[in-house]
Structures are given as structure tokens and as C-alpha cells.
Structure 1
Amino acid sequence: MPRSQTNNKDAYHLILEAIDMGIYKPGDRLVESDLAERFGVSRTPIREALQRLETQSLLERDGRSLIVASLDHNQMAELYVVRRELEGLAARLAARHATDEEVRVLRDMVEADDALVDDPVALSRANRRFHEQIHLASHNRYLVQQLDLVHRTMALMATTSLAAQGRGEIAQSEHRGIVEAISARDEEAAAEALRDHISIAFMTRLKQDAGRRERG
């Protein structure tokens, strides 16, 4: 692979990871020279990466500047509708296609993540890995691509629903139910369990936002 293509790929994923980790939050301005210095790459791949992120609606224009995009209430609701259906489909296909080894990995993830329920940031990262493992277990590359885009857009939300009081333990219980349905090869139960999981996460986030508005 030519060096320019490698740099472009690296710059894109480095910026995306920084947004996902909250280093750059919605509304933050991204400057080519600052990013190039931070990540140790030239400005050309940074520029190409920013253009790609803008095309994906992860960045937006503020005059001549590019800033990390933010989601309004309607955009968030639309995103959760799409996520709920796609995640449900992934669980259904995982129940059909996942290997025994993939099911064991999912079960091990849930057990390991129980230790993170008091650390919302770490649990959020683990939660994403868990969902990505289900996506892969669906054995459908096109679905994986669409869910990857959905999860990238989720990074535009400044907080995680897992930060809500008690949500971590409840989410872990929901994860266990999803894995058990996949392990039992019950496609309908797996799809329903994951759709319900996403719906509860959405309701939790709505309550968080309502609380912030009230305090504001």
C-alpha cells in the first residue's frame, strides 16, 4: 500500500478514535496543523481524513472551520431507531450463524465486564466491544459495515447511558440474556432481547438529557 494511503487510513482512524474517546467533543474545532502535530503525520492525510469525516456527517462546518458534529433530539431518536433494528438483526443472525467459539467469547466478555460496572467509561468501551462481537458473529459483512457507521455516530453523544445510576448492572444482566438466547439458537428471542436492550438504553439517555435540561 502506498505511504499516502497508509497515512490517510491512519489519520482517519486516529481522529475517529480521539472523538470516540471524548478527547474531541461535540462543538470542538479541529485544526489541520494541530492534528498533524498531535498525531505526527503530514497535513495532507489529515486534510483527507477531515474531508472523509465531514462526508460521514461526523464533522460539520462552522464558517470556515470544521467542528465535531452534535446530535439534536430528533437526530438521536432517528439514530436509535436504526440502531435498534440493525442490532436486532445482528442478534438474530448471530443466533443462526455464530460458532460455538464465538458464543463462548461473548459469554466470557460478559463475565469479565461485570468487574467494570462502577466505571462507566471503561464499561462503555467494553460495551462497544461486546456489541461489535455480536456484529461479527452475524457473519454478514454488509450489516457489520452499517453498524460500524451507526456506532461511530454514537460517539457524537457527549455522555454514555451507562453513567446513569444502576444502569451498568442492569445492562450486564441484559447482555447475559442476549448471549443465552444466541447460545440457545433462538433467533427471535435473541433479536427481541437486543432490541429491548437498545430501547432501554435510549430511554435512559432521554432521562439523562431531561435531567440536564432541568438542572440547566
Structure 2
Amino acid sequence: MTDLKSVQKDAYTLILEAIDSGIYRPGDRLVESELADRFGVSRTPIREALQRLETQSLLTRDGRSLIVASLDHNQLSELYVVRAELEGLAARLAARHATEEEIRVLRDMVDEDRALVDKPKALSRANRRFHKQIHLASHNRYLVQQLDLVHRSMALMATTSIAAEGRGQDTIAEHNAIVDAIANRDEKTAYQTLKDHISKAFVTRLKLDSGAIKRIEE
């Protein structure tokens, strides 16, 4: 039976969320009939969603099949460069425009996420929510749109840097410093602190991929 949550979302969003949550991982083949059964929708919207995802380079062709795309080293590096700049800009604008209520929400997120330091999957989801809140606090719709595109591509990564041993604790400390800068209306520090946060995450990911550091398993 299709639940209410599924009915309220379109096929594109459902497939994208399945990729983002790791149900479908880079290299996995996506089949129209299987997706239609999983999400309880007809094959026509599934087909349209797959075409849209292929256009966005989230899916790629393997013969006649569509598979979840993967990022090579150069693509990963390019993505992090763009992400760092856009995220830094979002933090700068949040320091300028965020309401006191939005800052309170960010602080509450950091406090609540302390309980997740040893749960990489849960902290990874919380991390996305935290960054999304900063995007919204920038009060710039065009920047939010561009960051949404970047974060869709981030879903093509097979692992999260937060899975590295010790990275959870560091992530919380870095998030706290970002919120402090935003709360202090220090645009320069907010920009640089968030850029540094993304840079550290990229270094950690490279070390994880090379086997240089240990990964936490839940």
C-alpha cells in the first residue's frame, strides 16, 4: 500500500531521496517497473523523472540501462571548490540577514546533534539539515537554488566524510563556530569558517577513499 508521504511527493523527489539516502548507490541500475512498484506510482512519471535525472547527470547510461552516476577524482575536486565558495557566501549573507529566530534554530540544531557524534548516518542527515538552514538564512533565493543543485550532486558520493573516526566531534565544533560567527554578524569570519569546514570535509573524504583513516561503522 502506498503511504500518504509517498503520495504527496512526485516521482523525481522520491528517486532523488532514495539516491541521497543510499537506497540506490553509484553504479546501481534503475528499472522503471521496479521503481513504479517501490513508490506506488505509474511508469510514466517514473520515466519522466529518470529522464530529468539523466539530464542533470545524476544518472548515466550503461548500454540501454540507466545507472546512478559516480564522481571521479576531478569531478569531486571541482564540486568541492564550487561548494566551498557557495556555502561560504551563504554564511556571509546569513550573518547579514538571518533573523534571531533562524540563529536560534541553528544553535538548537548544533546542541541536538551532539548526541549523534558516533552515529555517522544520522549525523550526516542532520548535517544536511544544518547546511540547508544556513542556505535559507541567507535570504537569497538564487543562491539557495544553486546550492540545491550542488547538494544533489553530493548524493553521488558513496560515503560521507562524517563516517571518518573523530570527524563527528570535529563537525559539531565547526558547526558551532559557524553559528557563533553568524550570531555575531561577522560576515568575514562566517564566510571563512564555513569554507574551512568544507575544506576539512574534503580532506577527510580523500583520506577515507585512500584508506589512510579509519571509517566508523554503525
1:44 counterpart = 2:72: no
1:67-126 Cα offsets, whole Å, 9 max, x none, are 000000000000000000000000000000000000000000000000000100000000
1:211 counterpart = 2:217: no
SS of 1:195 mapped into structure 2: helix
1:26 counterpart = 2:26: yes
Structure 1 distance, partners of 2:8, 2:32, is: 13
Structure 1 contact 7–45 (Cα < 8 Å) conserved:
no
Deviation at 1:8, TM superposition (A): 11
SS of 2:46 mapped into structure 1: helix
SS of 1:139 mapped into structure 2: coil
Q: CA RMSD in A?
A: 1.4
1:4-153 equivalent positions in 2, closer than 5 A: 10-153=10-153
Structure 1 distance, partners of 2:9, 2:54, is: 15
Structure 1 contact 94–139 (Cα < 8 Å) conserved:
yes
1:128-178 Cα offsets, whole Å, 9 max, x none, are 000000000000000001101111111100100000010000010000000
Partner of 2:162: 162
Structure 1 distance, partners of 2:7, 2:80, is: 33
SS of 2:211 mapped into structure 1: helix
Structure 2 distance, partners of 1:38, 1:146, is: 30
SS of 1:60 mapped into structure 2: strand
Partner of 1:172: 172
Deviation at 1:210, TM superposition (A): 1.0
Structure 1 distance, partners of 2:8, 2:180, is: 41
Deviation at 1:9, TM superposition (A): 5.9
Structure 1 distance, partners of 2:30, 2:16, is: 12
Partner of 1:188: 188
SS of 2:54 mapped into structure 1: helix
Stretches of structure 1 lacking an aligned partner (at least 5 in a row): 1-5
Deviation at 1:28, TM superposition (A): 0.3
Q: 1:205 to 1:71 in 2, by over 3 A?
A: same
Stretches of structure 2 lacking an aligned partner (at least 5 in a row): 1-5, 213-218
Structure 1 contact 8–45 (Cα < 8 Å) conserved:
no
Identity, in percent, stands at: 79
Deviation at 1:207, TM superposition (A): 0.5
Structure 1 contact 91–187 (Cα < 8 Å) conserved:
yes
Q: Which has the higher helix share?
A: 1
1:12-58 Cα offsets, whole Å, 9 max, x none, are 00000000010000000000000001100000000000001001110
Amino acid across the alignment from 1:90: A
Structure 1 distance, partners of 2:167, 2:125, is: 15
Give the ranges of 4+ consecutive aligned residues of structure 1 lying more than 2 Å apart after TM superposition: 6-9
Structure 1 contact 30–66 (Cα < 8 Å) conserved:
yes
Q: TM-score w.r.t. structure 2 length?
A: 0.93
